[in-house]
Amino acid sequence: MKLSSVLLTLTALVTTGIADKTCTPSFDYCSDVLIKDKGFTEADLKDVLKGTDFENEDVKNILFHCKNPGIVGHPKLCSSGCQDPESEGSHSCSA
Please give the Cα distance from 63 to 74 (Å, whole number): 8
Higher pLDDT: 86 or 8? It is: 86
E strands of 17-70, at which residues?
Answer: 28-30, 62-68
* DSSP code of residue 38: S
Give the residue ranges of DSSP H helices in the chain. 3-15, 31-36, 42-49
| Mean pLDDT over each residue of the chain, to the nearest integer | 83
- Map out the domains of the chain as residue ranges: 21-93
Q: Report which of 3, 55, 67 is spatially closest to residue 29, judged by C-alpha positions.
A: 67
Global confidence as pTM: 0.75
Condensed to tens digits (0 to 9), the pLDDT of residues 17-39 reads: 455 899 999 999 999 999 999 99
- What confidence score (pLDDT) does residue 19 get? 54
User: Residue type for 70, please?
Assistant: G
Going by pLDDT thresholds of 50, 70 and 90, the confidence category of residue 13 is: very low
- What confidence score (pLDDT) does residue 91 get? 87
User: Residue type for 28, please?
Assistant: D
User: Residue type for 9, please?
Assistant: T
What CA–CA distances, in Å, run from 93 to 17, 34, 80? 30, 15, 7
